[in-house]
């Protein structure tokens, strides 16, 4: 049975359109989702429906939805969508300073190896060749390669720091376990930010009563299976209103 997920992202308005700061989700044709929420991207399956809500200046709007049509590895995504910001690997090295997101791991590296630059973080050695962090990608170095591409957790990354090398160097990124770049099915998606449907309207129309923001200010991903039909009825109503 296919599932439906409600996903919040941090958006901004550019030329009248809502886009993610890192263009993820990207609602060009075909829409794709390739950076945020790695555990969810690994979990979703073909045929699942993803509904995206944009937080813009503390207000929430429906951006759009799509049905999962494909899950690609990053190398295939680079070949298919070479100009998309949410494809975070590149064939060309773009010198960037090493920036750490996970300070405890940075401190562990310094304690173990001193202040030398951990060069194993700056490139991606695979059976298909060497890749680098995309120039357009703003993620910290350890967050880019270890979390986003390889999907490593802190324990795995700590093992790499101990060895002072990437223990997944030489892996094949085209294996199924790395196919986590999500692409919409043709004709099974819609960019709806022009309708300006608020989350409050969605909650009222669907009887979805869970707060979209946690007490600590975070956003979780919600299962939305039982609310999907009513949401699509609301969308259809709003579309008809624009025609009248």
Query: The domain that contains 186 carries what CATH number?
Result: 3.10.590
pLDDT of amino acid 15:
86
Please tell me whether residues 124 and 67 are part of one structural domain: no
Please tell me whether residues 153 and 197 are part of one structural domain: no
Please tell me whether residues 143 and 199 are part of one structural domain: no
Please tell me whether residues 49 and 127 are part of one structural domain: no
Please tell me whether residues 140 and 232 are part of one structural domain: no
Please tell me whether residues 123 and 172 are part of one structural domain: yes
DSSP notation for 13-61:
EETTEEEETT--SB-SSSPEE-SS-HHHHHH--TT-EEEEEEEETTEEE
Q: What is the number of domains present in the chain?
A: 2
Q: How far is CA 102 from the centre of its chain?
A: 19
pLDDT of amino acid 213:
87
pLDDT of amino acid 80:
96
Please tell me whether residues 82 and 171 are part of one structural domain: yes
The mean pLDDT value of the chain amounts to 92
Are 54 and 74 contacting, i.e. CB atoms less than 8 angstroms apart? no
Per the listing, tokens 């957790």 go with: 153
Q: pLDDT (tens digit, 9 = 90+) per residue, 98-133?
A: 888 999 999 999 999 988 878 888 899 999 999 999
Q: Which of 177, 193, 220 is the last residue of a domain?
A: 177
Please tell me whether residues 127 and 164 are part of one structural domain: yes
The parent domain of residue 59 ranges over: 4-72+181-243
Identify the three-state secondary structure at position 233: helix
Are 121 and 141 contacting, i.e. CB atoms less than 8 angstroms apart? yes
Please tell me whether residues 105 and 158 are part of one structural domain: yes
Q: Which of 177, 206, 221 is the last residue of a domain?
A: 177
Please tell me whether residues 171 and 199 are part of one structural domain: no
217: which residues sit within 8 A by CB, 6+ positions away? none
Is the N-terminal amide bond of 25 cis, ω within 30° of 0? yes
Enter the pTM of the model: 0.93
Q: pLDDT (tens digit, 9 = 90+) per residue, 21-68?
A: 889 999 999 999 999 999 999 999 999 999 999 999 889 999 999 999
- DSSP E strands in 149-210: the ranges are 181-191
Rounded Cα–Cα distance for residues 24 and 21 (Å): 7
Please tell me whether residues 156 and 116 are part of one structural domain: yes
Are 54 and 61 contacting, i.e. CB atoms less than 8 angstroms apart? yes
Q: Which of 140, 155, 177 is the last residue of a domain?
A: 177
Rounded Cα–Cα distance for residues 31 and 192 (Å): 12
- Average pLDDT rounded to a whole number, residues 64-79: 96
Q: Write the CA distances from 20 to 24, 34, 46, 85, integer angstroms.
A: 5, 12, 23, 10
Please tell me whether residues 89 and 137 are part of one structural domain: yes
Helix (H) or strand (E) holding 240: helix 228-243
């Amino acid at each position: 049975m296919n599932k439906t997920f409600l996903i919040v992202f941090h958006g901004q308005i550019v030329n009248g359109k809502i886009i993610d700061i890192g263009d993820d989700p990207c609602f060009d044709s075909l829409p794709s989702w390739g950076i945020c929420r790695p555990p969810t991207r690994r979990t979703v399956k073909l045929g699942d429906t993803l509904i995206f809500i944009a937080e813009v200046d503390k207000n929430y709007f429906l951006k759009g939805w799509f049905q999962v049509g494909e899950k690609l590895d990053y190398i295939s995504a680079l070949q298919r969508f070479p100009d998309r910001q949410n494809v975070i690997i590149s064939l060309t090295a773009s010198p960037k300073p090493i920036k750490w997101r996970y300070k405890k791991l940075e401190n562990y590296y310094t304690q173990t190896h001193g202040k030398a630059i951990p060069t194993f973080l700056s490139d991606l050695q695979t059976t298909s060749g060497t890749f680098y962090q995309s120039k357009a990608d703003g993620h910290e170095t350890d967050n880019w390669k270890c979390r986003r591409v390889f999907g490593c957790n802190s324990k795995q990354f700590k093992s790499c720091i101990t060895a002072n090398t990437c223990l997944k160097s030489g892996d094949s990124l085209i294996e199924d376990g790395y196919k986590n770049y999500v692409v919409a099915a043709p004709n099974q998606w819609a960019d709806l930010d022009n309708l300006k449907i608020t989350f409050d309207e969605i909650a009222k129309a669907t009887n979805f009563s869970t707060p979209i923001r946690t007490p600590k200010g975070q956003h979780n991903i919600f299962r939305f299976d039982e609310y999907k039909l009513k949401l699509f009825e609301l969308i259809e109503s709003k579309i008809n209103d624009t025609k009248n």
